[in-house]
Structure 1
Amino acid sequence: MLLKLLALGGLGYAGYRYYEKTRSQPAFAGNQGKATVRDAGPESMRDNSGRAWTPADEASDQSFPASDPPSTY
Protein backbone atom coordinates (compact mmCIF):
# COMPACT_ATOMS: atom_id res chain seq x y z
CA MET A 1 0.00 0.00 0.00
CA LEU A 2 2.78 2.42 0.93
CA LEU A 3 4.69 1.63 -2.26
CA LYS A 4 1.58 2.37 -4.33
CA LEU A 5 1.20 5.76 -2.64
CA LEU A 6 4.88 6.56 -3.21
CA ALA A 7 4.63 5.56 -6.87
CA LEU A 8 1.49 7.64 -7.33
CA GLY A 9 3.13 10.61 -5.64
CA GLY A 10 6.19 10.27 -7.87
CA LEU A 11 4.04 10.14 -11.00
CA GLY A 12 2.12 13.18 -9.85
CA TYR A 13 5.33 15.11 -9.17
CA ALA A 14 6.81 14.13 -12.55
CA GLY A 15 3.60 15.21 -14.30
CA TYR A 16 3.59 18.54 -12.49
CA ARG A 17 7.24 19.22 -13.41
CA TYR A 18 6.49 18.40 -17.06
CA TYR A 19 3.45 20.70 -17.01
CA GLU A 20 5.43 23.58 -15.50
CA LYS A 21 8.23 23.18 -18.06
CA THR A 22 5.95 23.14 -21.09
CA ARG A 23 3.39 25.82 -20.23
CA SER A 24 3.90 29.24 -21.77
CA GLN A 25 3.88 32.57 -20.03
CA PRO A 26 0.32 33.89 -20.29
CA ALA A 27 1.07 37.59 -20.78
CA PHE A 28 3.96 37.28 -23.25
CA ALA A 29 3.51 37.99 -26.94
CA GLY A 30 5.20 35.73 -29.46
CA ASN A 31 8.00 38.28 -29.98
CA GLN A 32 9.38 37.94 -26.42
CA GLY A 33 11.59 34.90 -27.03
CA LYS A 34 12.82 33.19 -23.84
CA ALA A 35 12.47 36.32 -21.68
CA THR A 36 11.46 35.96 -18.05
CA VAL A 37 10.07 39.51 -17.82
CA ARG A 38 7.59 40.93 -20.32
CA ASP A 39 8.54 44.15 -22.13
CA ALA A 40 6.27 47.11 -21.43
CA GLY A 41 3.59 48.17 -23.87
CA PRO A 42 0.53 46.74 -25.57
CA GLU A 43 2.57 45.27 -28.45
CA SER A 44 4.27 42.91 -25.97
CA MET A 45 1.01 41.51 -24.60
CA ARG A 46 -0.40 38.25 -25.90
CA ASP A 47 -4.04 39.24 -25.44
CA ASN A 48 -5.33 42.51 -26.85
CA SER A 49 -7.91 44.31 -24.73
CA GLY A 50 -9.37 46.04 -27.79
CA ARG A 51 -9.03 49.58 -26.47
CA ALA A 52 -6.37 52.23 -26.96
CA TRP A 53 -3.89 52.71 -24.16
CA THR A 54 -3.83 56.02 -22.30
CA PRO A 55 -0.59 57.62 -21.08
CA ALA A 56 -1.53 56.43 -17.57
CA ASP A 57 -1.87 52.84 -18.82
CA GLU A 58 1.57 53.02 -20.45
CA ALA A 59 3.21 54.53 -17.34
CA SER A 60 1.61 51.95 -15.08
CA ASP A 61 2.76 49.09 -17.31
CA GLN A 62 6.31 50.47 -17.47
CA SER A 63 6.58 50.81 -13.69
CA PHE A 64 5.11 47.37 -12.76
CA PRO A 65 5.95 45.73 -10.31
CA ALA A 66 7.54 48.75 -8.63
CA SER A 67 6.00 49.79 -5.35
CA ASP A 68 5.92 53.50 -6.24
CA PRO A 69 3.32 54.79 -8.72
CA PRO A 70 4.56 56.60 -11.82
CA SER A 71 4.80 60.39 -11.64
CA THR A 72 2.18 60.90 -14.36
CA TYR A 73 -0.79 60.34 -12.03
Structure 2
Amino acid sequence: MSLLQWAAMGAAGYVIYRAVQKREAEHAPAAFADGEETGGNFANIRSAGTEGMRSNPKHWDKVDQAADESFPASDPPSTY
Protein backbone atom coordinates (compact mmCIF):
# COMPACT_ATOMS: atom_id res chain seq x y z
CA MET A 1 0.00 0.00 0.00
CA SER A 2 1.34 3.38 -0.92
CA LEU A 3 1.66 6.33 1.41
CA LEU A 4 -1.14 8.15 -0.43
CA GLN A 5 -3.55 5.26 0.17
CA TRP A 6 -2.66 5.19 3.87
CA ALA A 7 -3.27 8.92 4.11
CA ALA A 8 -6.66 8.57 2.38
CA MET A 9 -7.67 5.76 4.75
CA GLY A 10 -6.57 7.82 7.75
CA ALA A 11 -8.52 10.86 6.57
CA ALA A 12 -11.64 8.73 6.02
CA GLY A 13 -11.30 7.26 9.51
CA TYR A 14 -10.96 10.71 11.02
CA VAL A 15 -14.07 11.97 9.20
CA ILE A 16 -16.08 9.00 10.48
CA TYR A 17 -14.77 9.55 14.03
CA ARG A 18 -15.75 13.24 13.98
CA ALA A 19 -19.22 12.43 12.62
CA VAL A 20 -19.82 9.95 15.45
CA GLN A 21 -18.58 12.44 18.06
CA LYS A 22 -20.85 15.18 16.72
CA ARG A 23 -23.83 12.84 16.69
CA GLU A 24 -23.25 11.87 20.33
CA ALA A 25 -22.96 15.53 21.37
CA GLU A 26 -26.31 16.33 19.74
CA HIS A 27 -28.04 13.78 21.98
CA ALA A 28 -27.12 15.60 25.19
CA PRO A 29 -30.18 16.66 27.21
CA ALA A 30 -31.24 20.23 26.48
CA ALA A 31 -31.37 21.29 30.14
CA PHE A 32 -27.73 20.44 30.84
CA ALA A 33 -25.03 23.09 30.70
CA ASP A 34 -22.17 22.61 28.28
CA GLY A 35 -19.61 20.26 29.80
CA GLU A 36 -21.92 18.90 32.50
CA GLU A 37 -21.56 15.14 32.59
CA THR A 38 -24.58 12.82 32.49
CA GLY A 39 -22.67 9.53 32.65
CA GLY A 40 -23.39 8.46 36.24
CA ASN A 41 -26.73 10.21 36.32
CA PHE A 42 -29.23 7.51 35.36
CA ALA A 43 -32.26 9.82 35.65
CA ASN A 44 -30.66 12.66 33.62
CA ILE A 45 -31.34 15.33 36.23
CA ARG A 46 -29.11 18.37 35.99
CA SER A 47 -27.38 20.10 38.89
CA ALA A 48 -29.42 22.73 40.74
CA GLY A 49 -28.84 26.42 40.16
CA THR A 50 -27.92 28.57 37.24
CA GLU A 51 -24.52 26.86 36.89
CA GLY A 52 -26.25 23.69 35.66
CA MET A 53 -28.44 25.47 33.10
CA ARG A 54 -27.63 25.88 29.44
CA SER A 55 -29.13 29.39 29.36
CA ASN A 56 -29.16 31.93 32.18
CA PRO A 57 -32.54 33.24 33.36
CA LYS A 58 -33.05 37.01 33.49
CA HIS A 59 -34.36 36.98 37.07
CA TRP A 60 -33.23 34.41 39.63
CA ASP A 61 -33.88 34.81 43.35
CA LYS A 62 -33.71 32.62 46.45
CA VAL A 63 -37.22 31.23 45.88
CA ASP A 64 -36.26 30.14 42.37
CA GLN A 65 -33.10 28.56 43.77
CA ALA A 66 -35.03 26.68 46.48
CA ALA A 67 -37.59 25.41 43.97
CA ASP A 68 -34.83 24.29 41.62
CA GLU A 69 -33.02 22.46 44.44
CA SER A 70 -36.20 20.64 45.51
CA PHE A 71 -36.81 19.08 42.08
CA PRO A 72 -37.86 16.26 41.56
CA ALA A 73 -39.34 16.09 45.06
CA SER A 74 -43.10 16.47 45.32
CA ASP A 75 -43.06 18.90 48.26
CA PRO A 76 -42.62 22.63 47.63
CA PRO A 77 -39.63 24.40 49.20
CA SER A 78 -40.07 26.07 52.60
CA THR A 79 -39.58 29.57 51.20
CA TYR A 80 -43.14 29.79 49.83
TM above 0.5, yes or no, is yes
After superposition, the CA RMSD in angstroms is 1.8
TM-score (norm 1): 0.61
User: Aligned partner of 1:31: which letter?
Assistant: G
Counterpart selection for 1:37 from 42, 45, 63: 45
Check conservation: 1:31, 1:44, Cα contact below 8 A. no
> What are the ranges of 5 or more consecutive residues in structure 2 without an aligned counterpart?
1-22
User: Which position in structure 2 is the counterpart of 1:27?
Assistant: 31
From the CA coordinates, give the structure whose radius of gyration is larger.
2
TM-score (norm 2): 0.56
Instruction: Give 1 or 2: higher helix fraction.
Output: 1
Runs of 4 or more off by more than 4 Å in structure 1? Answer: none
User: Which position in structure 1 is the counterpart of 2:70?
Assistant: 63
Distance between the aligned counterparts of 2:71 and 2:35, measured in 1? 20
1:39 Cα deviation after fit: 0.4
Count of aligned positions? 52
> What are the ranges of 5 or more consecutive residues in structure 1 without an aligned counterpart?
1-20
